[in-house]
Chains A and B, each alone.
Chain A
Amino acid sequence: MKTSKQRTEEILRRAAAQEQAARVKNRRRAWILSVTAGFLLLVIALNLLLFIPYPSGLPDLSRFSGSEYFPLMQRLNELTYTPPAYKNNFEAWFSGLGNWGAESPSDGDASAESPSAEPEGEGGSAEGSGSVEVTDNQEAGVTEGDLFKRTQTHLFYLQGGAEGVTLSSFTLEKEESALCSSLEIIPAEETYFLGAHASEMYLSADGDTVTIFLPVYSYAHSSLFTAAVAVDVSDPAHMREAGRVYLSGSYVTSRMAGEEFLLVSNFAVRRDPDFSDEAQFLPQVGALDSLESLPMENIVWSEDANAARYTVLCRFGPDLTLRGCEAFLAFSEQVYVSQDNVFLTRGYTATAQPCGEGSYAAVRESRTEIACVSYAGGGLSYRGSADVAGSVLNQYSMDEAENTLRVVTTLARSEASAVEEDVVFSPSAAETNAALYVVRLSDFSLFASLENFAPAGEEVTSVRFEEDVAWVCTAVRIELTDPVFRIDLSDLSHITYTETGDIDGYSSSLIDFKDGTLLGVGYGEGGSFKAEIYEQGGQGVESVAVYERDADFSESYKAYLIDRENGFLGLHLYDWRQGGAGDVYVLLHFDGYALSPVLELAIGRGNPGFTRACIAEDWLYVVVQGEGILAAPLPGLG
């Protein structure tokens, strides 16, 4: 046995060893704890980074509750809010799509097209000592913009592209007609123009001022605008820009009534707008660096609005001063301007028949809402809207008369699949037809109608209202056959019509023509160009004369020269046949019996939709984009 002393020494040795071991153990424990703590912190950090959910739910707008626009903001907030595509960073990074975050705002939903349809009314009449109207306007007293205007001595022509727009003046000096001068309209800094085809101009009555409307994109605002540019052309040899103003939204159309301009644009509110920046959700007008928002009192909207897009309608004076502005929460497609009102259409689809009620699937139909804004008596005031079945083709499908609006639409329905005898309809097949509606403007109720008057499956291709008559051409476009209808609106309680029956081809434009006839411009058999004269005969609508040619042409109505008094139709054709004439400007003449070419000018290669012509003092003047001016005497027609 060990002695106490030996035991004590052993005990002390072991104690020292245990203390050393304890120190080592403590250090190791500390190391493990720190590593574990670091790992846990990393895990927590990763979880926070990957799994913290993105903010969802409508943005809070309570800080704007004192703004006059607050109710509108709230509705726009609901309409424009887009929930995040992913719940958190983990989904965003590892779902494989990688498309997270707000999308870039889009403001391109509205078409910037200017209506290219068939006008009605007085064409070629002088509007003063300076300006001579060359555009065939739909409504008397309501001038439409175009690429081409003239005075007694000069022609003005607009052409251009993204880099700029060129206004050219030409002298009207018969065979010595020539370019007088050109003025480059340059986009403002950080903007660019969206194309010449969407630009239009007007000439003041005194012939001293050209006002151009054109669509513009501003990089600084990341938004579309419509620019109004005034050019002093009192001296056509030295034209100069006199002023410029901008309106939010893409250019839809414009008119000149008297000396004032009516301008229509579509302004789309960007997705998830910053409501502290009025430019992102309110239409604005003015200089680009000093735009002002429309007051709330000038904005018409309802809780039923289902799209965050405005139609903006403004009145400008000849000096581009703003004289009135109205905006309502709906975008516009077609615009018709009567002598007192502006009618704006918005097409949509609706459920006409729910599933189960006689069909295997829901039946949907196209419909159109037509809003009415009065500009009579100065100012602008929203009057109300009407809702009709079908879609509206263009401005010529509408006409105001005797406090009613007459509108022709193409009906379209998508029906469920069904087996009827041996015919099986596909679920997506649309049955189309045509209809005419008469709407009271006092309360916008439907007053009279004529539905499904066309052969089943046909759509409206052209319309022309002439007092109590509506001329309508319908067709199955790919089959190139059409009837032309003459609808008698003299007794709205009993609307009747006559027709031509099927005719080869179809008309894309209908024009009231010489001596009460109707001129149809469009396609013939095989897709050739065809111009045809119709009149009401004993057996219905009858073809009187026709001119047909294998050639391409433009459906743009403003590209046609229409001289009703003398029976002239002029347009740019491209004769594509081998050995054919190529690009020519053809002047057709209707002598009461036949429609024949009386003049054919070889012109340079150009877009037929941009070629313009006029007749002055028995001379034909033709302006071709990029080619300048051509002039030729009219042949003696005895």
Chain B
Amino acid sequence: MTREYDRGAALYAAFLEGDASALEALVQLYGDALTRFAYCIVRDDAAAEDVTADTFAALIVRRKKFREEAKFRTYLYAVARNKAIDRWRRHGRQCSLTGLENVLVGENGEQGLFAAERSRVLYTGMQQLPAQYQEVLYLSYFDGFSVSEIGRVLKKSAKQVYNLLSRARSALKQILIKEGYSHEDL
């Protein structure tokens, strides 16, 4: 993870210095994950793609230079979350879950993170949860964010994140049990 973060910041710095290929590398690195994260909020694949594209576009426009101790990925996901919430508010609070399959497949298709059945089941089950629970579960389990990183993205304290995680897990567990998964499966 540390390597990925470093790589993200390095690629962004390279892009800011004029390396156009660094941007594509960044998109490849974070594109799918960012889209899935955005989907948790906007519940539509096309909208999630828009959010991802707007997020990266915002980085280009702002051209913010990061210090060494700054977290590029955290910043990226925070921007994406704001974009997703803005879009969700503008276009109505619909929970249609459109294009979930596309999001699950991602760019990398069968080789992606969600290739594993377990991951797909969890992610699909998560879509029945409130957006806040989805966000915190996704960031924690699928993108490996630490509690502090999740707190920075969601603008919450560590304690609040712990509480959210706990409630989110319980809620997801109930959903999965309802869908026929046993305690041993969970």
**Could you tell me which A residues sit within 8 Å of B by CB distance?**
1-5, 7-8, 10-12, 14-15, 17-19, 22
Contact = CB atoms under 8 A, between A and B. Distances in A.
Given A1-B105, A7-B53, A11-B56, 4 more contacts: A4-B31, A11-B27, A15-B57, A22-B61
Given A1-B102, A7-B27, A10-B53, A18 B61 contact: yes
Given A12-B23, A14-B53, A14-B54, A7 B60 contact: no
A4 B24 contact: yes
A170 to B, nearest CB: 112
B60 A11 contact: yes
Contact of A11 (B32, B53, B105, B109): B53
Nearest to A14: B57
Contacts of B28: 4
B107 interface: yes
Interface residues of B, number: 20
B23 A2 contact: no
Nearest to A9: B24
B159 to A, nearest CB: 36
Closest 4 CB pairs of A and B: A14-B57, A15-B60, A15-B57, A4-B28
A5 B53 contact: no
Contacts of B8: none
Contacts of B151: none
Interface string B78-116: 000000000000000000000000100111010000000
B57 A5 contact: no
Contacts of B134: none
Contacts of A19: 61
Contacts of B16: none
A22 B107 CA distance: 31
15 contacts: A1-B106, A1-B109, A4-B24, A7-B27, A7-B49, A7-B56, A8-B24, A8-B27, A10-B53, A11-B60, A14-B53, A14-B54, A14-B57, A17-B57, A18-B61
Interface string B15-35: 000000001100110011000
A166 to B, nearest CB: 100
A2 B107 contact: yes
A3 B107 CA distance: 6
A330 to B, nearest CB: 86
A165 to B, nearest CB: 96
Contacts of B23: 8, 11-12
A26 to B, nearest CB: 12
B37 to A, nearest CB: 15
A18 B58 contact: yes
Contacts of A5: 24
A585 to B, nearest CB: 113
Contacts of B60: 11-12, 15
Contacts of B107: 1-4, 7
A282 B56 CA distance: 88
Given A1-B107, A12-B23, A7 B52 contact: yes
Contacts of A18: 54, 57-58, 61
B57 A7 contact: no
Contacts of B102: 1
Nearest to B109: A1
B61 A11 contact: no
A311 B31 CA distance: 104
Contacts of B61: 15, 18-19, 22
A17 to B, nearest CB: 8
Nearest to B108: A1
Contacts of A15: 56-58, 60-61
A10 B58 CA distance: 12
Nearest to A11: B56
B152 to A, nearest CB: 23
Interface string B35-73: 000000000000001001110111011000000000000
